[in-house]
């Protein structure tokens, strides 16, 4: 999910919009019933649509729903599925978090699940280290794609020739051998240390966008990389173990909880910054004033809890106003704002 798709659906208004949300399963033995469940929910949506609109529009939308459901890969389900269909839109979304069944037909899309998904969709990188191979992945949510270029993946080869030990004396037959083994071990560590320095430079070139970094490696390699990296302030999680033989799906499932925790911490900081902004007259809690401020571009950051609703104000329009003036919209987990209202704003001026 990216901001462009979210805004595209958010701005679709004044036409029949169908939002279908279905819980699904990741585990193979549980996802056997997903196809039946999705079929049943889609059938209910079509019945509801028949009561909502006229025959010509109904037929066209029915066909678009069928075309969208035909794209579902039932072997790679996540925890939830979203289908969004209108005369101008046809979007399928996978949710890595649990959802409840929902069918909404209105003149705008139901976007609360999409908004929360957007809040979790910050791009990141996974660096997979071992003494034999280094791989880099770009990630979003629980999905990864391996980077393939001149620098990644990279295979480490220690081609240094070590001087063999001289002949030991009869008084210390193992002394020279042990000394050689110790020297060799030290040299191997130094060379691996230097190798990780090079990897860190390549990492900087590939991830110069300041996105979060997750590093997975055996304890020894992880400690060695920590000694040389220039990206300590960007590393949000260190995962101990050798994961070089894991699939992208397995690695994505490993990284996703780390990103959820990281974003929750970021949101805590945003809440603290908002409370501090109140003292400077730049923190706003009154929805009436927030709406006015958004229209004239005063909002720098809008903080909103998942599932926030207000029957007296058009939240779609509010979000669009913030986006139109290049403001930031941050969707947070439920109750992230604590005793504050479910929607607050940090002002530019």
- Domain 3-110 class in CATH: alpha beta
Q: Are 142 and 96 in contact (CB under 8 A)?
A: yes
Burial annotation 235-272 (CB, 10 A radius, 16+ → b, else e):
bbbbbeeebbeeeeeebbbbbbebbbebbeeebeebbe
pLDDT, one tens digit per residue, over 61-106 is 999 999 999 999 988 889 999 999 999 999 999 999 999 999 999 9
Q: What is the pLDDT of residue 166?
A: 52
Confidence of residue 178 (pLDDT cuts 50, 70, 90): low
Q: How far lies 83's CA from each of 5, 68, 312, 335, in Å? A: 13, 7, 27, 27
Q: Average pLDDT for residues 11-35, to the nearest whole number?
A: 86
* Lowest-pLDDT range of 179-183, 205-209, 292-296: 179-183
What's the helix, strand, coil split of the chain in %, to 5? 45, 25, 35
Please tell me the least confidently modeled range out of 21-35, 188-202, 211-225, 229-243. 21-35
Domain segments of the chain: what residues?
Answer: 3-110, 124-260, 280-347
Q: Residue range 45-63: average pLDDT? A: 90
Is the pLDDT confidence value at 136 over 70?
yes
pLDDT of residue 88: 95
* Bond into 153 cis (ω within 30): yes
Specify the fold of 280-347.
Answer: 60s Ribosomal Protein L30; Chain: A; (3.30.1330)
Provide the pLDDT for residue 147: 95
pLDDT band at 131 (very low <50, low <70, confident <90, very high): confident
What is the 3 state secondary structure string of 260-325?
A: HHHHHHHHHHHHHHHHHHHHCCCEECCHHHHHHHHHCCCEEEEEEECCCCCCCCCHHHHHHHHHHC
- Taking only the tens place, the pLDDT of each residue in 252-276 is 999 999 999 999 999 999 999 999 9
* Residue entry with tokens 């304890």: 219
Pick the CATH number of 124-260 from 3.30.420, 1.10.10, 3.30.870, 3.40.50: 3.30.420
Q: Is 281 left (phi over 0), alpha (psi -120 to 50) or beta?
A: left
Strand, coil or helix: what is 152?
coil
- Indicate the pLDDT class of residue 160, thresholds 50, 70 and 90: very low
pLDDT digits (tens, 9 = 90+) for 313-342: 999 999 999 999 999 999 999 899 999 999
The reported pTM is 0.83
- Judged against a pLDDT cut of 90, whether residue 285 lies above it is answered with yes
Q: Is 125:211 a contact under the CB 8 Å cutoff?
A: yes
pLDDT at 28: 64
Q: What phi and psi values does residue 139 have, to the nearest 5 degrees? A: -135, 155
Check if the beta carbon of residue 79 is closer than 8 Å to that of residue 97: yes
- Say how far apart CA 218 and CA 224 lie, in whole Å: 10
């Amino acid at each position: 999910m990216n901001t462009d798709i979210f805004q595209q659906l958010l701005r679709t208004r004044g036409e029949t919009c169908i939002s279908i949300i279905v819980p699904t399963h990741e585990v193979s033995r549980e996802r056997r019933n997903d196809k039946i469940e999705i079929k049943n929910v889609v059938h209910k949506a079509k019945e509801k649509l028949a009561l909502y609109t006229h025959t010509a529009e109904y037929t066209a939308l029915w066909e678009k729903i069928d075309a969208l459901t035909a794209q579902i890969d039932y072997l790679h389900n996540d925890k939830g599925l979203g289908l969004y269909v209108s005369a101008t839109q046809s979007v399928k979304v996978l949710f890595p978090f649990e959802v409840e069944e929902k069918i909404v037909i209105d003149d705008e899309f139901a976007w609360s699940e999409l908004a929360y998904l957007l809040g979790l969709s910050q791009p990141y990188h996974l660096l997979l280290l071992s003494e034999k191979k280094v791989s880099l992945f770009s990630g979003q949510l629980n999905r990864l794609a391996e980077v393939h270029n001149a620098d990644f993946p990279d295979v480490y080869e220690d081609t240094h020739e070590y001087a063999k030990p001289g002949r030991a004396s009869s008084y210390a037959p193992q002394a020279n051998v042990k000394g050689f083994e110790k020297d060799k071990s030290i040299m191997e560590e130094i060379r691996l240390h230097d190798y990780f320095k090079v990897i860190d430079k390549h990492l900087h070139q590939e991830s110069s966008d300041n996105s979060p970094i997750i590093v997975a490696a055996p304890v020894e390699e992880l400690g060695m990389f920590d000694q040389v990296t220039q990206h300590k302030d960007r590393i949000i999680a260190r995962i101990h173990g050798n994961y070089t033989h894991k699939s992208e799906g397995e690695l994505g499932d490993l990284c996703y909880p780390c990103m959820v925790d990281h974003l929750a911490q970021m949101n805590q900081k945003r809440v603290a910054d908002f409370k501090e902004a109140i003292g400077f007259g730049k923190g706003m809690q009154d929805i009436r004033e927030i709406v006015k401020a958004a229209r004239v571009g005063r909002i720098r950051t809008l903080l909103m809890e998942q599932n926030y609703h207000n029957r007296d104000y058009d939240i779609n329009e509010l979000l669009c106003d913030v986006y139109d003036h290049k403001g930031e919209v941050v969707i947070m987990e439920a109750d992230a704002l604590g005793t504050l209202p479910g929607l607050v704003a940090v002002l530019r001026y």
